[in-house]
Structure 1
Amino acid sequence: MEQLTIGDYTLTWLQGGVTHLDGGAMFGVVPKPLWSKLYPANENNQIELRSDPILVQGKGKNFLIEAGLGNDRFSKKQLRNYAITEESFIIEGLDTMGLSPDDIDGVLMTHMHFDHCAGLVHKEEEKDVPFFKNAVIYTSEIEWEETRNPNIRSKNTYWEQNWKPIEHQVQTFKQQTEVLPGITMIHTGGHSAGHSIVTIEQGEDMLIHMADIMGTHAHKNVLWVMAFDDYPMDSIEAKRKWMDIGYNNEAWFSFYHDYKYRAIQFDGQGEIKRSITREI
C-alpha cells in the first residue's frame, strides 16, 4: 500500500473498489482527442476510476477520507451499468495495519454520492448496519440536507440505503471545520451543492484533497470539469482558488479516483515535482 507523510500524519491508500464510467461524462465538454491523451479509455469509452479511501493516522487517531464502494451494495444491474469490476478490500487493508473497521475514529465525506459513501454500510444478518460503528462521519450541512432530500437529478446518486443506517453518526458543519489539528474540511460546492475538500497543513507541509472537483490528474486544467457537476462554474472557481494556493505552497494533491496517481506535488509553476503512483 502506498503511503505519504505530511507532518505528524501518515496517509495510506486502501483499496475501496473500481468503477468504469463514460469518459465523456467525466470530462464534460472537453473533446476526447484532448482528454484521452492524458487518461486512457476502453473500447466502450469508459475510464477506470478507483474508489480508494485514504487512511490518515496521527494524534492517536485513525481517520478515513471517503469510504469506498463497500461489498454487496449493488444490484446486478448496477454492477453492469457502473462497470464495477472490484469491490472493497478495506478490511484486508486495515488488517495489514493492525486495525479493523471498529478502530476508525472518523470518516471525512467530501460528499455523499454512492461511489464515495456505499462503504459506510454493510449487512449483518441481512440488516444494513454501520461498517465503521465507532466513527463520527463528517460532511457539510448542505450535503447532508440534499442527501436526505434529493432532487429529481440527485436522487440517482443519493441512496437511502447508504445514509439511513448511519444518520446517528453524522456530524455536519457549515463553511469549514477542523476535525484534527491541521486537518480541515472546507465547503466548496461545485460537484454537488455541499461538496467539500480536505486540507492537511503541518508546518511547511501541505496536502489538498480536492475530491471530485479535480477527480483525476487529468482534470488539472481548471476548465476541465465533469458533466456530473451540478454547479460547474463553482467547481471552476474552487479549482482556480485551491490550485493556486497549492502551487504557491508546493502542496501535495491527493486522489481518490485516479487509476495511476495517489498524489502529486506540483511546483510553483504547476509542473509535477514529485508523485506517488499506485502499485499494480
Structure 2
Amino acid sequence: MKPDNIMNPVGPGEDELVPSRYAVRIGDIEVLVISDGVLPLPTQTMSTNVDPAEREAWFKDMFLGPDAFDWALNVLLVQSGDQTILVDAGLGGQFSGFPRAGQSLRRLEAAGVDLGSVTDIVLTHMHMDHVGGLLGDDVKSRLRPDLRIHVAAAEVDFWDSPDFSHTDMPAPVPDVLRSTAKQFLDQYHNKLQTFENEHEVAPGVVARRTGGHTPGHSLVTVTSGGERLTFAGDILFPVAFDHPEWHNGFEHDPEESVRVRVRFLQEAAASGELVVATHMPFPSVGRVALNGDRFRWVASFWDY
C-alpha cells in the first residue's frame, strides 16, 4: 500500500452515512484514524470514586447520561516507509450486545486498505475492545504470515493470571476480558514481539509502556518533520480534562492511572502535539491546553 492510499481512499461503504475515517499527515508519515464505533457504558464506570451527585452533575453539563452514555472506540493506521502499522484492532463483531461497535476492519476495507498489507500491529493493551477485532472469523487467514504484533512484555505476563481486585466493572466483563485475552494469546503467540519499556516499530513510530490502566498499557508516538502525534490509548477519557483524578472502572491500578494521566496531560499541554485516544469522540484529533488548574481539550478543525 502506497502512502497516498491512506490520504485518498476509495469511497465509503454503501451503508455508511459518513466515512468514519480521518487522515492526518505528520511530516512524511501518514496516519488514518478509524472509528470502531461506539458501545454503551454506565456513567458510573467513568467515575467509580466519585459521589453520585457529582457524577450526575458532570454528565448533565456534558448533555450525557444520566445513567449511560456512548463510549467511542478508535484505532489508528500508520504508514511509515514500507511499513503499514495498525494500532489496536477494535472490538470485533463476535460479542453480543454491541451492534454499533466492532466496525474498524470493515471500515479499513471501505477505505481501500487490504488487511493483508498490514506489516505490524501495535497493541496498547489486551482488553477486548483492543484485540477483539483480530478474533473474528477468517481474520487470521487474511493477515500476512510474517505479521509482527508488538506488545509490552508486562502486558503478556499480566494476562497469564490477571488481577481484577482494583477494578469496578459490570459483573460479566472480567470473565469476558480473561477469555478474550486467552483466546488472543492462543491464536497469535507466535507472532508476538514483546518489549520492556520502549520500542521503535518503524522509523518515527515508537511504542512506550506507561502502565496504569493495565501493567503493560502503552502509547504510540508518531514523529516526523518536526511534528508529533501521540495515540494515548486508554490514558484519556472525556472526563479526564476536568477530573483527571476520577477513576475508571476498567483501570487495574487506579492510583497509578491517575499519575500516568496527569503526567501525560502536562506533557501534551507543554509540547502542543496532536493527540488521539481510543475513547475520545471521533475523529479524536486535538490538543491539550491548560485551563487554570485544569486541562482543556482543543479539538482540531477538520481539514476538508
Instruction: Please give the TM-score of this superposition, normalised by the length of structure 1.
Output: 0.83
1:70 & 1:113 partners in 2: Cα distance? 12
Identify the match of residue 71 of structure 2 among 49, 62, 72. Answer: 49
Paired residues of 2:163 and 2:252 also in contact (CA < 8 A): no
Change (3 A) 1:244 1:15: closer
Aligned length: 265
Deviation at 1:130, TM superposition (A): 5.8
1:33 aligns with 2:56: yes
1:77-156 aligned at under 5 Å gives the runs 79-80=96-97, 84-124=98-138, 129=140, 132-134=143-145, 135-151=147-163, 155-156=175-176
Maintained 8 Å contact 1:91/1:100: no
Q: How does 1:1-280 map to 2 (within 5 A)?
A: 1-30=21-50, 31-37=54-60, 39-42=62-65, 45-71=67-93, 73-74=94-95, 79-80=96-97, 84-124=98-138, 129=140, 132-134=143-145, 135-151=147-163, 155-159=175-179, 160-214=182-236, 216-220=237-241, 221-267=243-289, 270-275=295-300
State whether residues 15 and 53 of structure 1, in contact with CA within 8 Å, keep that contact through their aligned partners in structure 2.
Answer: yes
Instruction: Judge conservation of contact 1:20–1:49 (CA < 8 Å) in 2.
Output: yes
Q: Under a length normalisation based on structure 2, what TM-score does the superposition of the two structures give? A: 0.77
Contact 2:34 2:107 survives alignment (8 Å): yes
What are structure 1's unaligned runs of at least 5 residues? none
- The alpha-carbon deviation at position 272 of structure 1 amounts to 4.6
Q: Tell me by how many angstroms 1:196 deviates.
A: 1.1
**C-alpha deviation, 1:209, in angstroms:** 1.8
Deviation of 1:109 after TM superposition, in Å, equals 0.6
How far, CA to CA, are the matches of 1:39 and 1:163 in structure 2? 39
The residue type equivalent to 1:148 in the other structure is D
1:252 Cα deviation from its structure 2 partner = 1.2
The CA deviation at 1:231 is 1.0
* RMSD of Structure 2 on Structure 1 (CA): 2.6
How high is the sequence identity, in percent, across the aligned residues? 22
Which 10-residue stretch deviates more, 244-253 or 89-98?
Answer: 89-98
Query: In 1, Cα distance between the equivalents of 2:201 and 2:263?
Result: 22
CA distance in 2, matches of 1:39, 1:115: 24
Distance change (3 Å), C-alpha of 1:211 and 1:204: same
How big is the shift at 1:96?
3.9
Distance 1:64 1:129 in 2: 14
Distance in 2 (CA, whole Å) between partners of 1:132 and 1:34 is 46
Deviation at 1:204, TM superposition (A): 2.8
Give the superposition deviation at 1:241.
1.9
Unaligned runs of 5+ in 2: 1-20, 166-173
> Could you tell me which amino acid in structure 1 is paired with residue 197 of structure 2?
Q
How big is the shift at 1:88? Answer: 3.1
Q: 2: CA distance between counterparts of 1:4 and 1:237?
A: 29
The letter of the residue matching 1:103 is: S
Change (3 A) 1:63 1:121: same
